[in-house]
Amino acid sequence: MTEEVRWIADEMLGKLARYLRFLGYDVRYAKDMKDGEILEAARAEGRIILTRDELLARRGKARAFRLISPEIERQLSEVRRLFPTLRTEVQFLRCSVCNGNLVIADKSTPAPPKGVPQNVWDTIHEVSICTSCGHAYWEGTHTEEIRQTLARAFQDRP
């Protein structure tokens, strides 16, 4: 496997950061970071900068990409155009909230982990938990909405 691209998303791209995490990518969200700090973090951590800011994109040179659209589906489509190998399916690998790694919860215990309703724990085969913040993920109505957004975003590029 080739080394996977990692990203840093500027403050205007919080939703995109969450969606890229749902695709399994390592995305740092540059909230409250100055341009200089973003550039430094990108260099130090080997991340690609995604930004809506023209100046930051210029300063980031080959390491930065400017997105034009303010809208999530178009942004995802833009990223896919820039990176044709971008995954298009939801992966339970990264926490969309904090970028932590997800692990599959041990279903041998009868009581659900924090944040997981008992009926979900009893009926859903696989529940993933963030090792950093404890947020729980499973296939449900929320992931269905995310899949639909992804499908619309990528429909023009199968």
What distances in angstroms separate CA 106 from CA 113, 128, 140, one per listed residue? 9, 9, 19
> Is there binding between residue 97 and Zn ion (CB under 5 A)?
yes
Mark the segment that binds Zn ion (CB under 5 A) among 7-15, 30-38, 55-63, 127-135: 127-135
* 101 touches Zn ion (CB under 5 A): no
Choice from 55, 68, 82, 133 touching Zn ion (CB under 5 A) = 133
| Integer angstrom CA distances of residue 102 from 27, 28, 92, 110, 152 | 14, 16, 7, 20, 26
Number of chain positions touching Zn ion (CB under 5 A)? 8
| Rounded least distance, CB 98 to Zn ion, Å | 3
8 A C-beta contact, residue 31 and residue 158: no
- The residues that touch Zn ion, with contacts defined as CB under 5 A, are 95, 97-98, 100, 130, 132-133, 135
